C-alpha cells in the first residue's frame, strides 16, 4: 500500500499518523514545505519518499508539483489529517482517480455555511446562519438572525477569528478585525453545554466513537486568558443525556457523505435536552484530543486510523475504561516562566492518575495563548469515575499556578 500523506510533520501530532501508516505496512510519501534536511530522524525513518514544496498552502502549485512528482509512480491513497488541506487532498484524488472523498464532499466539511445547509436539508437542527462577503452583508445578516450571534470565517478551524457579539455596537467594533477574512458566517448563538462527537469511520459508519465535554465552551477558552481550559472525554458515553448528540452526529455523517477516516464534530445540548449541530471537520480533533481518546480506551488511534486508511479495518478494543481529562495552563505575567506553584502537592495527591504532565519549565518563554490552546503546557489525568476525573482536572486548573516575568 502506497500512501501520499500531505503534511506529515505539522501540526506536530501529524508525525504520529506518519508513524501509524508505516507501522501498518504503508510506503509513506510525505508532502510538506519543511526543508528535507530539517525532517526529524524519528519521522524520516517512516517516510519512503518526501517532496518539499515551497508553500503547502499554495493549492495550485502543490497540485502541479505533486502531479509531476508522482508521474510514473503507482500510489493507492492520498490523505491528510490537517483541515486546511482536505480540499487539496480531494483534488489530488480526483486528478489521479483514486478512492476517497470527492472535492464536493470535502467542501461540505470545510465550508461552514454549505455544511449547515446540507445538515439542515437532512432535517437536523442547526443554528440559523448566513454567508457574508462584506460588512454590509454582516450587518444585514445580524439584523435577520438577532443577537447574541457568532461571527467567524467560513472555513475556519478551532476558534480563530471567532467572536461572540451581543449587540450592534459590539459588532461594529469587531468588523474591522475581520477585514482580512474574505468570507464569514454569521450564526445564531446557542445557549447550552458544548460537547464533541468524534469518530473513526469506515465507509461513513463509525468504527470508533467518542464524546468529550468542553469546560467551558471553546469560545470562552479562547477569549478569557485567566481560564485554565478543561476537556474531559466521557467514559459512559451512552448515558441518556448524551444519546441525542450521538444520534445527531451519526446522521450528520450520512448527510455530508463521510467516507473513511477521522471526524471531529461539536454540538450543543440545551437545557431542554435538545441536541443542536455546531460544526464538523473530516479530520481528528486537535489539542491532544486523540491522546485523550487513547487514554480513555488504552489504544493507539494513530495506528488504527492508518489501518482504516490502508486496510479498512479497525482492530483495537472500543471498551471505554476511563474519563480522561486535559487541563491547559496559562502563566500569569509575560516573558519567561519564572515558577510553578502547587504542582508538587497536586502530584502527591493525584499522581497515580496523571498520565502526562507537560508544563513549560522555568526559563522557557511563554507561548501566545491566543494562537494555541496548548498555552503554557498541560496536565493529563484519568479515572474510571466521572466525578473523580472532573475533581482532579479542576484541582489542576485551580491549584497549579504558573508565573512569568
- CATH of residue 144's domain is 3.30.1490.20
Residue 116 lies in a domain: no
289 pLDDT more than 90: yes
pLDDT tens digits for range 339-372 = 999 999 999 999 999 999 999 999 999 999 888 8
Would the CA dihedral through 194, 195, 196, 197 be positive or negative? negative
Q: What percent of the chain has pLDDT over 70?
A: 99
Residue 109 lies in a domain: no
Contact present, 291 and 231 (Cβ < 8 Å): no
Domain holding 348, by residue range, is 322-405
Residue 113 lies in a domain: no
pLDDT recorded at residue 76: 97
Predicted confidence band of residue 180 (pLDDT cuts 50, 70, 90):
confident
- Give the burial string for 299-331 (b: 16+ CB within 10 Å, else e): bbbbbbbbbbbbeeebebebebebbbbbbbbbb
How many domains are contained in the chain? Answer: 4
220 pLDDT more than 90: no
Nearest Cα to 209, choosing from 237, 173, 248? 237
Last residue of a domain, one of 188, 212, 240: 188
Q: What is the CA radius of gyration of the chain?
A: 21
Give the mean pLDDT of 11-25.
Answer: 97
pLDDT recorded at residue 145: 95
CATH number reported for the structural domain that contains residue 310 in this entry? 3.30.470.20
217 pLDDT more than 90: no
Same domain, 147 and 259: no
159 pLDDT more than 70: no
* More confidently predicted of 224 and 53: 53
Query: Distance of alpha carbon 36 from its chain centroid, rounded?
Result: 27
Same domain, 178 and 249: no
286 pLDDT more than 70: yes
347's CB contacts (< 8 A; 6+ apart) are 354, 357
Residue 37 lies in a domain: yes
297 pLDDT more than 70: yes
Cα dihedral value 134, 140, 144, 145, nearest 10: 40
Same domain, 206 and 274: yes
Q: Residue 218, CB half-sphere, CA atoms under 13 Å: how many?
A: 26
pLDDT recorded at residue 298: 98
In three-state secondary structure terms, 351 is helix
pLDDT recorded at residue 158: 59
Same domain, 247 and 285: yes
Nearest Cα to 150, choosing from 115, 113, 180, 121? 113
CATH number reported for the structural domain that contains residue 22 in this entry? 3.40.50.20
Spell out where 74-142 has E strands. Answer: 77-80, 129-132
Same domain, 183 and 146: yes
> How high is the mean pLDDT of the chain?
95
Residue 292 lies in a domain: yes
Give the mean pLDDT of 220-240.
Answer: 91
Give the mean pLDDT of 121-125.
Answer: 97
Same domain, 388 and 279: no
* Prediction pTM value: 0.93
Last residue of a domain, one of 145, 160, 188: 188
Give the mean pLDDT of 288-301.
Answer: 98
Predicted confidence band of residue 157 (pLDDT cuts 50, 70, 90):
low
pLDDT recorded at residue 342: 98
Residue 105 lies in a domain: no
Same domain, 145 and 244: no
pLDDT tens digits for range 309-330 = 999 999 999 999 999 999 999 9
pLDDT recorded at residue 124: 98
Same domain, 203 and 289: yes
Residue 177 lies in a domain: yes
Same domain, 213 and 263: yes
Same domain, 290 and 348: no
Give CA–CA dist 100/257, Å, rounded: 11
Same domain, 183 and 200: no
pLDDT recorded at residue 179: 86
pLDDT tens digits for range 381-405 = 999 999 999 999 999 999 999 999 9
Nearest Cα to 379, choosing from 343, 335, 404? 343
Give the mean pLDDT of 64-87.
Answer: 96
- 139: part of which helix (H) or strand (E)? helix 135-145
Residue 118 lies in a domain: no
Same domain, 184 and 195: no
Q: Cα separations (Å) of 400 from 230, 324, 338, 347, 354?
A: 13, 18, 14, 10, 14
Last residue of a domain, one of 320, 348, 365: 320
Would the CA dihedral through 136, 137, 142, 145 be positive or negative? positive
Amino acid at each position: 500500500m502506497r500512501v501520499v500523506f500531505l503534511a506529515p510533520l505539522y501540526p506536530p501530532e501529524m508525525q504520529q499518523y506518519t508513524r501509524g501508516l508505516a507501522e501498518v505496512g504503508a510506503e509513506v510519501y510525505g508532502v510538506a514545505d519543511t526543508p528535507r534536511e530539517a525532517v526529524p530522524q524519528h519521522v524520516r525513518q517512516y517516510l519512503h519518499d518526501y517532496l518539499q514544496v515551497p508553500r503547502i498552502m499554495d493549492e495550485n502549485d502543490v497540485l502541479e508539483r505533486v502531479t509531476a512528482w508522482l508521474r510514473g509512480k503507482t500510489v493507492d491513497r492520498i490523505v491528510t489529517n490537517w483541515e486546511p488541506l482536505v480540499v487539496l487532498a480531494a483534488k489530488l484524488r480526483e486528478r489521479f482517480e483514486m478512492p476517497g472523498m470527492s472535492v464536493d464532499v470535502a467542501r461540505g466539511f470545510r465550508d461552514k455555511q454549505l455544511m449547515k445547509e446540507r445538515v439542515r436539508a437532512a432535517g437536523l437542527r442547526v443554528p440559523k446562519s448566513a454567508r457574508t462577503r462584506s460588512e454590509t452583508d454582516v450587518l444585514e445578516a445580524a439584523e435577520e438572525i438577532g443577537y447574541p450571534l457568532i461571527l467567524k470565517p467560513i472555513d475556519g478551524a478551532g476558534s480563530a477569528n471567532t467572536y461572540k457579539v451581543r449587540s450592534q455596537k459590539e459588532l461594529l467594533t469587531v468588523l474591522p478585525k475581520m477585514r482580512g477574512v474574505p468570507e464569514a458566517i454569521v450564526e445564531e448563538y446557542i445557549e447550552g453545554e458544548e460537547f464533541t462527537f468524534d469518530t473513526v469511520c469506515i465507509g461513513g459508519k463509525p468504527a470508533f466513537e467518542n464524546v468529550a465535554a468542553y469546560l467551558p465552551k471553546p469560545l470562552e477558552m479562547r477569549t478569557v486568558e485567566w481560564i485554565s481550559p478543561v476537556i474531559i472525554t466521557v467514559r459512559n458515553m451512552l448515558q441518556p443525556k448524551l444519546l441525542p448528540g450521538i444520534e445527531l452526529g451519526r446522521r450528520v455523517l450520512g448527510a455530508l457523505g463521510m467516507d473513511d477516516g477521522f471526524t471531529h464534530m461539536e454540538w450543543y445540548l440545551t437545557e431542554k435536552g435538545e441536541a443542536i449541530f455546531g460544526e464538523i471537520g473530516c479530520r481528528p480533533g486537535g489539542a491532544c484530543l486523540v491522546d485523550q481518546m487513547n487514554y480513555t480506551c488504552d489504544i493507539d488511534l494513530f495506528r488504527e486510523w492508518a489501518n482504516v486508511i490502508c486496510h479498512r479495518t479497525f482492530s483495537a478494543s472500543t471498551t471505554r475504561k476511563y474519563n480522561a481529562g486535559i487541563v491547559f495552563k496559562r502563566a500569569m505575567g509575560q516573558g519567561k516562566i519564572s515558577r510553578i506553584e502547587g504542582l508538587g502537592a497536586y502530584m502527591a495527591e493525584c499522581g497515580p492518575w496523571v498520565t502526562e504532565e507537560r508544563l513549560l519549565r522555568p526559563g522557557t518563554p511563554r507561548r501566545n495563548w491566543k494562537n494555541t490552546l496548548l498555552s503554557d503546557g498541560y496536565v493529563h489525568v484519568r479515572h474510571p469515575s466521572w466525578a473523580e476525573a472532573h475533581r482532579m482536572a479542576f484541582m489542576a486548573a485551580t491549584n497549579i499556578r504558573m508565573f512569568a516575568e
